[in-house]
Amino acid sequence: MSANLPAGHGTAGHDHGHDTAPGHATLRGYLTGFVLSVILTAIPFWLVMSGVLDSKQATAMAIMAFAVVQIVVHMIFFLHMDARSEGGWSLMALIFTLILVVIALTGSLWVMYHLNVNMMPGMHEMKQMP
């Protein structure tokens, strides 16, 4: 065994399962992620440019749904995140971050909505004036 290698990494039997271990990039994985990313970008672009959906809200919801799917594609194919990588800690950190972001965004929207409704009560009557 070579003195420069860490324990358990001898020169005999070079197959350490590196080809199948999560977190190792392959050209096929990157190409799959790229093709999915292009498709998940082209479909919302087509939805907006063609006006297939009549409602702006439905179009916005479709775009957000495709965005969420694209985030998952990027995490799996480019960041190599799964439940097994780093003993699950990277996934746990992601979940914690998402919870904090949802709390911050929900709270901000709630505060802004109530400020808009409650700060200037006379503004609602002024909108109806000629």
pLDDT for the residue numbered 7: 54
- Look up the pTM and report it: 0.59
Question: ∠ CA(59), CA(64), CA(37), 5° rounding?
Answer: 110
Q: Where are the domains of the chain?
A: 22-80, 87-130
Residue 57, helix vs strand vs coil = helix
Q: Which residues of the chain have pLDDT under 70?
A: 1-24, 120-130
- Measured between alpha carbons, how far is residue 8 from residues 11, 13, 19, 22, 40 in Å? 10, 11, 18, 19, 43
